Chains A and B, each alone.
Chain A
Amino acid sequence: MSSYLITVATIIAIYAIVVCGLNVIVGFAGQISLGHAAFFGIGAYASAILTTKAALSFWAALPLVILISGLIGLLLGLPSLRVKDDFLAITTIGINFIVEAVFLYIPFFGGALGIGGIPRILLFGVKMRGTAFFALCLVFLALVLLVCWWFTRSWGGLACFALREEEEAASSMGISPVRFKLLAFVLGTAMAGLGGALYAHYMRFLSATDFSFPLSITFLGMIVLGGMGTIWGPVLGALLLGVLPELFRPLVNYRMLFYTVILLLMIRFQPAGLLGENSIVRKVFSFRLLGERT
C-alpha cells in the first residue's frame, strides 16, 4: 500500500479509538460532550511530555497517560453532575477552549511552538512506522472495541443505559447517577487519552491548535453519522468522515462546505445515524436478512 493510504488509514484508526471513547460518554451514558478534543489533546501532551522531558519509553508512559487522562476526565466530568443537556454542552465547549488556551499560553506545554522531537514507539527493539504503526493502532482499536462490547454487557453499562433513558427513574431504582456518569466519563476520556498518545507518537510534533473545538465537532459528527450508542457506529463514522475529505481533495476549496452540508443533512434526516435505531441501513438490513419490517 502507498504511504499516503497508510497515513490516512492510521489517522482514521486513531480517530476511531477516540470516537469510541466519546461514544461511551454520549452514546452509552447520554451525557453530551462537545469538548472531547481536549481529552485527546491531554493524552497527546501527557505522552509527549513524559517521553521527552521525563525520558520514559512509550510503553512505560502509556499506563500513566491513560491514568492522567482518566483522572482529568473524572475532574472535568464533575460538571455533568451539576448541569444537564444544553448547559453541559456549553460547559464542555468551554473546557475545550480553556484546555487549548492552557496548552497555547503556558510555557511548560511548549506554548505557541508546540512540542517536537517526540520519539517513535519501540516494540521488541523495532521502530514502529508506516504499516507496522497502523497495525499497532488496529490492535489498540480492537482492544477498545472489546472493552466497549464488554461494557455494554456489564452492569456498569446497563446502569449507564438506564441513566441515559430516564435519570430520575434510574436513580429511584437505586442506580447512582454520580457513580455511573463518572464511570462513563473516566472510561471515555481514558480512551481519548490512548488515542492521543498514539497520535503524539505518530505525528511526533504537537501544537495546541491540533486539539481545538472544530475537532470536537468532527468527533461528534462521526458518532452522529455512524450511530450513537452502537458498537460499530464510531468506527463507521470515523471511516466515512475520514475518507470523505480525501475524496473531496480535488475540490479543495469546497471541501469544508460539502463536509458541513453532509453533516447538516444527516442530522436533519437521520438523527439516529447510519447504524442507529430506525435508520435506513438498519431497515434495509433487517428487511433483507430477517424478511420482516422493523
Chain B
Amino acid sequence: MQLFLEQFLNGIAMGSIYALITLGLALVYGVMRILHVAHAAVYTVGAYIGVLILHLTGNLFLAFVGAMAFCAFLGLVIERFIYFPLLKYPPYVPLIGSIAAMLAIEELCRLVAGPYILTFPAKLPFPALHFGGITISETLMAVYCITAAVLLFLWYITTRTELGLAMRATSQDIPIADAMGINSHWIMSITFIIGSAIAAIAGILVGIYYNEVYPTMGAVPAYKTLALIVVGGMGSVPGAVIASLLLGVAETLLIGYANIPLPRDALAFIAMIAVLMWRSEGLLGSK
C-alpha cells in the first residue's frame, strides 16, 4: 500500500510536468490551430538557460526568470518568423516547419552545449512532507506547488481578464475578432509568450526532477504531448491537464505493476489512437 501511494505520488508529479508542457501547446493550438512540435525544443532551451544562469549566479530564482524571459522571446521569434507567414497554407505546411525548427534547435543545443548529459545541482526552497510512513520529497513538493500556481495563474488570465476574453475570441473566429477591434496577431504573440515561458518552467523542473539536461530531452515529450492535446480535446486547456495527469499516473503504475511487452511511449500512442477513433473530438473537446 505504501509503495502504491508513493508510486501514485510520483505519477502525479510526472503528470504535472506533462501538464506544464502540454498547457503551452494547448494554448497555441487553441489560438492558431497549429501543432507546435517545436514547443519541446523551447522547453529544452529553457532547461539549458536555467542550468547556465544557475552556474553563473547560483540563484535558482534568477534561473527561472532568465529562462522564462529567453524562452518567451524564442517563442515570439518562432511565431513571427515561421508560423504566422505559413498560416495561409494547409495545416501540414506549418507542421513540417515546426518539426524542422524543433530538430534545428535541438542540433543548436547539441553544438553549443555538447552532447553530454549535464546535471542540475539545484536545491528547491520547499519543505519535505512526512506523514504515516510516506515522504513527499522537496522536489515533488516543488513540482506540485509550481504546477498548481501556474494552473491558477492561467485560469485567472483566461477567464477573468480582458486579455483572456480576447484570446478566447481569437480562438473562435479570427476575422470576427479582428472586426471587434482585437489585434489577433498580437494575441497570438502573447499566447506564444505565455506558453513558452511555461515551457521554460517545465524544462527546469524536469531538469531538477531527473537531475539531467541533454539536447534530445524534448524528443519524446514532443510527440507524446501532441498525443495529450489530442486526447484532451484540441485546444481545451482543462482537457489537456486531465489527460496529462491520467497519463502520468497510468504510466508510473503500469510500469510498476503490469508486465506489458511494449514500451510506455507506444502505449501512450495506442491510447491516443483509441480515443481518436472513439471520440474524434477528444475527451473534453467540442466540434
A residues 239-294 touching B (CB-CB < 8 Å): 253-254, 256-257, 260-261, 263-264, 267-268, 271
Interface: B35 (CB within 8 A): yes
Given A260-B100, A267-B97; A97-B86 close (CB under 8 Å): no
Interface: A94 (CB within 8 A): yes
Q: Flag if A97 contacts B269 (CB, 8 Å).
A: yes
Binary per-residue interface labels of chain B (27-63) against chain A in the complex, 1 for a CB within 8 Å, 0 otherwise:
0000001010000000000000000000000000000
Q: Flag if A264 contacts B97 (CB, 8 Å).
A: yes
The distance in angstroms between the C-alpha atoms of A261 and B97, with both chains bound, is 10
| Chain B residue nearest in CB terms to A228 | B92
Interface: A105 (CB within 8 A): yes
Q: Flag if B103 contacts A86 (CB, 8 Å).
A: no
Q: Flag if B92 contacts A257 (CB, 8 Å).
A: no
A261: which B residues are within 8 A, CB to CB? 100, 104
Q: Flag if A256 contacts B93 (CB, 8 Å).
A: no
Listed stretches A1-9, A56-64, A77-85; interface member: A77-85
Q: Max chain A CB contacts within 10 Å: which of B90, B103, B108, B265?
A: B103
Interface: A178 (CB within 8 A): no
A224: which B residues are within 8 A, CB to CB? 96
Q: Closest approach, in angstroms, between the C-beta of B274 and any C-beta of chain A?
A: 10
The distance in angstroms between the C-alpha atoms of A263 and B273, with both chains bound, is 29
Q: Flag if B273 contacts A79 (CB, 8 Å).
A: yes
The distance in angstroms between the C-alpha atoms of A105 and B261, with both chains bound, is 6
| Chain A residue nearest in CB terms to B220 | A97
| Chain B residue nearest in CB terms to A259 | B103
A143: which B residues are within 8 A, CB to CB? none
Interface: A150 (CB within 8 A): no
* Contact partner, A101, options B103, B226, B265, B276, Cβ 8 Å: B265
Q: Flag if B35 contacts A89 (CB, 8 Å).
A: yes
Listed stretches A118-126, A127-135, A181-189, A213-221; interface member: A213-221
Interface: B263 (CB within 8 A): yes
Interface: B89 (CB within 8 A): yes
Q: Flag if A82 contacts B280 (CB, 8 Å).
A: yes
B270: which A residues are within 8 A, CB to CB? 94, 98
Given A105-B263, A213-B223, A257-B108; A85-B86 close (CB under 8 Å): no
Interface: A69 (CB within 8 A): no
Q: Closest approach, in angstroms, between the C-beta of A83 and any C-beta of chain B?
A: 5
Interface: B277 (CB within 8 A): yes
Main secondary structure, interface of A, reads helix
Q: Closest approach, in angstroms, between the C-beta of B88 and any C-beta of chain A?
A: 10
Interface: A102 (CB within 8 A): yes
Q: Flag if B226 contacts A93 (CB, 8 Å).
A: yes
Given A106-B261, A260-B103; A32-B276 close (CB under 8 Å): no
- Using a Cβ–Cβ cut-off of 8 Å, how many residues does chain B contribute to the interface with A? 39
A residues 196-224 touching B (CB-CB < 8 Å): 213-214, 217, 220-221, 224
Q: Flag if B266 contacts A98 (CB, 8 Å).
A: yes
Interface: B256 (CB within 8 A): no
* Contact partner, B100, options A83, A85, A90, A267, Cβ 8 Å: A267
The distance in angstroms between the C-alpha atoms of A221 and B98, with both chains bound, is 12
Q: Flag if A32 contacts B273 (CB, 8 Å).
A: no
Interface: A91 (CB within 8 A): yes
* Contact partner, B230, options A87, A214, A271, Cβ 8 Å: A87
Q: Max chain B CB contacts within 10 Å: which of A90, A105, A217, A254?
A: A90
The distance in angstroms between the C-alpha atoms of A220 and B97, with both chains bound, is 11
Q: Flag if B96 contacts A86 (CB, 8 Å).
A: no
B residues 54-86 touching A (CB-CB < 8 Å): 81-82, 85-86
The distance in angstroms between the C-alpha atoms of A253 and B95, with both chains bound, is 26
Interface: B200 (CB within 8 A): no
Q: Flag if B92 contacts A90 (CB, 8 Å).
A: no
A residues 1-41 touching B (CB-CB < 8 Å): 26, 32, 34
Interface: A159 (CB within 8 A): no
Q: Flag if A267 contacts B96 (CB, 8 Å).
A: yes
| Chain B residue nearest in CB terms to A267 | B97
Interface: A95 (CB within 8 A): yes
Q: Flag if A93 contacts B86 (CB, 8 Å).
A: no
Q: Closest approach, in angstroms, between the C-beta of A45 and any C-beta of chain B?
A: 16
A86: which B residues are within 8 A, CB to CB? 33, 35, 91, 95, 234
> Which 5 pairs show the lowest CB-CB distances between chains A and B?
A94-B269, A101-B266, A260-B104, A264-B100, A257-B107
- B interface list, Cβ under 8 A from A: 33, 35, 81-82, 85-86, 89-93, 95-97, 99-101, 103-104, 107-108, 111, 223, 226-227, 230, 234, 261-263, 265-266, 269-270, 272-273, 276-277, 280
- A interface list, Cβ under 8 A from B: 26, 32, 34, 79, 82-83, 85-87, 89-91, 93-95, 97-98, 100-102, 104-106, 213-214, 217, 220-221, 224, 253-254, 256-257, 260-261, 263-264, 267-268, 271
